[in-house]
Amino acid sequence: MVGGEPLRQYTVRSYGPPRAMVFQAMVIVHGRTFQGEASRTKKDVEKSATREALIFIDLLPTFGDMLSDTLRENEGLRQCQAKLLVALDASRSIFGRAKRGLLDVRNSMQAHESTNW
């Protein structure tokens, strides 16, 4: 027991006629329900349900690590995105100045040509 609650609780259901009974078990572990494969014995279905719970519980640290890695990668991507946006703004500013400079040169050349005719 942990904190007054049992570590696991089984619910076993039976189906079929008495001589060909099939059992199905569910186990609740820390509020999560897991269902195992059907079998001809209660012991087997309890083992199967427990196995499903253990597989999930064993995977939890892996999922936590994967989530942590994904969050770190996402933060890195957000930082790269912010840097790219700053660079894009700077290049737009430079492009705007260059465009204005070219227009000034073109206007000067046109003005010069029109005065020379």
Instruction: Provide the CATH number for the domain around residue 43.
Output: 3.30.160.20
Q: Is residue 104 part of a domain?
A: yes
Q: Is residue 108 part of a domain?
A: yes
Q: Is residue 54 part of a domain?
A: yes
Amino acid at position 76, single letter = G
What does each of the 117 residues of the chain score in pLDDT, given as a tens digit?
445 555 678 899 999 998 999 999 998 887 889 999 999 999 999 999 988 888 887 777 776 777 788 888 888 888 989 999 988 888 888 888 888 888 888 888 888 887 766
Backbone angles phi, psi at 34, to 5 degrees: -130, 140
Q: Is residue 2 part of a domain?
A: no
Which domain does 38 fall in, by range? 8-116
| Rounded Cα distance, 2 and 4, in Å | 5
Q: Is residue 1 part of a domain?
A: no
Q: For residue 12, give the nearest of 44, 40, 46, 39 by alpha carbon.
A: 46
Instruction: Give residue 96's region: left, alpha or beta (phi > 0; psi -120 to 50).
Output: alpha
Q: For residue 12, give the nearest of 24, 30, 28, 2 by alpha carbon.
A: 24
pLDDT score of 21: 93
How many domains is the chain partitioned into structurally? 1
Q: Is residue 89 part of a domain?
A: yes
